[in-house]
Chains A and B, each alone.
Chain A
Amino acid sequence: NNYVEITKISLNLSNVKVNEVLDVIESKTEFRFLYKDRDLDLDRKVTINVNQERVVNVLDKLFENTAVIYKIYNDRQILLKTVSESKRPKSSLGAEIVTPQQQTLTGSVIDEEGLPIPGASIVIKGTNVGVATDFDGHYSINAEPGDILVVSFIGFATQEIVLGNQDTLNITMKTETSSLDEVVVVGYGTQRKSDLTGSVGVIGSEKLLKAPVTNSLQGLQGKVAGVNVFLNSGSPTGAPRIVIRGVGTINSSSDPLYVVDGVVMDEIQFLNPNDIERMEVLKDASSAAIYGARGANGVVLITTKRGGESGRTIIGYDGFVSVGKMRNKMDILNAEEWLDVVRIGMENTPKYRPGTTPVFTTNDPDLFDAQGNPLYDTDWQEEATRTAISNNHQLSIRSGSEKSSVGAFLNYSNVQGIMLNNDLERISGKIAYDVTPKDWLSLGINLLVNDVKDTEFEEGGGGQVPRRTMIEMPPIFPVKFPDGTYSNSFMIDDAYNLEAMANPVHVLETQERFWHRNQLFGNVYAEFTILPDLKFRTQFGFDKHIREKKEYSPRDLINISAPNGYARIYNQKSTYWQQENYLTYTKEMDDHRINAMLGLSWQEQVSEDSNIFSRGFSDDFFKYNNIGAGSDPDSPSSGYSKWSLNSYFLRAGYTFKNKYMVTLTGRLDGSSRFGENNKYGFFPSVGGGWILSEESFLSDVEDLDNLKLRASYGVTGNTEIPAYSSLATVSSGTILLNGTRVSSSQVNRLANPNLEWEKTSQFDIGLDLAAFNQGLRFEFDYYYKKTTDLLLDRPVPYSTGFAAVRDNIGAVSNKGIEAMVTANIFRKPDFNWETSFNINFNKNKIESLGENDEDIEPGPFWVSGSQTILRVGESLSSYWGYERLGTWGTDEAAEAALVGAVPGEAKRSAEKKILGNGLPDFTGSWINTFRYKNFDFTADIQFVGGVDILQQFYHSTEDRSGIANGLATILYDGWTEQNQNTMVQEIRNQSYAGQNSQIDSHWVVDGSYIRGNLFTLGYTFNQNVLDDLGLNKLRVYASLENAFVIDSKDFQGYDPQATSWEGNQWGQNIFFFQYPKPTTFTLGCSFTF
Chain B
Amino acid sequence: SDFLDEEPRSELSSSQFFKEADQARSAVNSLYRTGAPSMTDGGVYSGVPTMLGAYMSGFFSNEYAGQELHVSNTQQLTLNGDNIGGYLQDRWGDLYRGISRANNAIKYIPETPGLTDSERNQLMAEAKFFRAYAYYYLVRLFGPVPLTTEPYDSLEDLYLERSSVAEVYAQIEADLSDALYNGELPNVGMVDNGKRISSGTVATLLAEVYLTMSGNPLNVDRYGDAASLAQKIVNGDYGSFSLVQHDMIDGEVDLENSAYNKIRRSDASAQEHIYIKEYDPAISTSGFPRYSYPTGLSQDVLYDIVNGAYQPSSTFMDLYDPVNDLRAQEKQYFHTALEGSDKTFEPTPYMWHDDEAIFETANSGKDQAMLTFADVLLIGAEAIAQSSGVTAEAVDYLAQVRARAYWQSDISTIETSLSGLGVNEFVEEVWKERHRELVFEFQNWNDIVRTRKFPVANTPGEITFVDAVGFVTSQDKQIEQKHMLLPLPGPELQRNPSLGTDNNGY
Contact = CB atoms under 8 A, between A and B. Distances in A.
Contact of A500 (B22, B34, B305): B305
A865 interface: yes
B63 A994 contact: yes
B494 interface: yes
A745 B14 CA distance: 11
A72 interface: no
A498 B23 CA distance: 49
A632 B83 CA distance: 40
Contact of A797 (B16, B87, B158, B279): B158
Contact of A559 (B155, B305, B497): B305
A737 B296 contact: no
Contacts of A562: 304, 362
B70 to A, nearest CB: 9
A865 B86 contact: yes
A991 B296 contact: yes
A738 interface: yes
Interface in B1-41: 1, 3-14, 16-17, 22-23, 25-27, 29-30, 32-34
A850 interface: yes
B67 A750 contact: no
A643 B8 CA distance: 10
Contacts of A640: 8-10
Nearest to A996: B66
B29 A798 contact: no
A599 interface: no
Interface in A956-1003: 960, 991-992, 994-998
B495 A995 contact: no
A991 B295 contact: yes
Contact of A644 (B3, B11, B82): B3
Interface stretch (A228-236, A280-288, A384-392, A799-807): A799-807
B492 A745 contact: no
B218 interface: no
B159 interface: yes
B474 to A, nearest CB: 12
Contacts, number: 253
A799 B65 contact: no
Contacts of B42: none
Nearest to A491: B299
Contacts of A426: none
Which range holds the interface residue count of chain A? 35 or more
A736 B33 contact: yes
Residue from the set A739, A955, A992 with the largest chain B CB neighbour count within 10 Å: A739
B69 A796 contact: no
Contacts of B362: 562-564
B305 A752 contact: no
A747 B11 CA distance: 10
A799 B496 contact: yes
B169 interface: no
A735 B67 contact: no
Interface stretch (A88-96, A243-251, A441-449, A723-731): A723-731
Nearest to B65: A994
A801 B284 CA distance: 23
Contact of A803 (B8, B66, B93, B363): B93
A379 interface: no
B478 to A, nearest CB: 11
Interface in A734-749: 735-748
B67 A563 contact: no
A547 B358 CA distance: 38
A852 B496 CA distance: 8
Given A727-B6, A996-B66, A744 B30 contact: yes
B4 A736 contact: no
B33 A559 contact: no
A726 B11 CA distance: 13
A800 B295 contact: no
Residue from the set B32, B87, B155, B475 with the largest chain A CB neighbour count within 10 Å: B155
B31 to A, nearest CB: 9
Nearest to B24: A745
A752 B296 CA distance: 51
Interface stretch (A119-127, A469-477, A665-673): A665-673
Given A727-B6, A797-B158, A736 B305 contact: no
Given A737-B195, A797-B160, A646 B30 contact: no
Nearest to A609: B10
A975 to B, nearest CB: 15
B153 interface: yes
A745 B23 contact: yes
Nearest to B62: A994
A611 interface: no
Given A559-B305, A736-B278, A798-B89, A746 B27 contact: yes
B152 A750 contact: yes
Contacts of B282: 632
Nearest to B365: A739
Contact of B66 (A498, A739, A854, A995): A995
A643 B3 CA distance: 9
A800 B343 CA distance: 50
A921 B5 CA distance: 42
A784 to B, nearest CB: 29
Contacts of B158: 796-797, 800
A730 B11 CA distance: 6
B196 A738 contact: yes
Contacts of B228: none
A728 B13 contact: yes
A497 B492 contact: no
Nearest to B7: A642
B495 A850 contact: yes
Contacts of A679: 4
Nearest to A905: B66
Nearest to B61: A994
A897 interface: yes
A738 B152 CA distance: 30
A393 B5 CA distance: 46
B99 interface: yes
A398 to B, nearest CB: 39
Nearest to B282: A632
Contact of B100 (A672, A735, A801, A807): A801
A802 B93 CA distance: 7
B330 interface: no
B397 interface: no
B298 to A, nearest CB: 6
B1 to A, nearest CB: 7
A558 B78 contact: no
Given A632-B282, A672-B4, A998 B69 contact: yes
B75 A900 contact: yes
Contacts of B329: none
B295 A558 contact: no
A798 B495 contact: yes
B407 interface: no
B495 A729 contact: no
Contacts of A497: 295-299
Given A864-B69, A899-B76, A746 B34 contact: yes
A466 interface: no
Interface string B143-154: 001101001111
Interface string B270-313: 00000000111111100000000001111100101100000000
30 contacts: A497-B296, A498-B299, A499-B298, A500-B304, A563-B362, A632-B282, A638-B10, A644-B3, A644-B4, A724-B6, A724-B8, A730-B13, A730-B16, A737-B196, A737-B278, A739-B195, A743-B22, A745-B12, A748-B11, A750-B152, A795-B494, A797-B160, A797-B499, A801-B152, A803-B93, A852-B497, A854-B495, A900-B78, A911-B82, A995-B66
Given A490-B298, A795-B495, 6 more contacts: A729-B13, A730-B16, A736-B284, A742-B26, A745-B23, A796-B158
Interface of A: 490, 492, 495, 497-500, 558-559, 562-564, 602, 604, 632, 638-646, 670-673, 679, 723-724, 726-732, 735-748, 750-752, 795-803, 805, 807, 850, 852, 854-855, 857, 863-866, 897, 899-900, 911-912, 955, 960, 991-992, 994-998
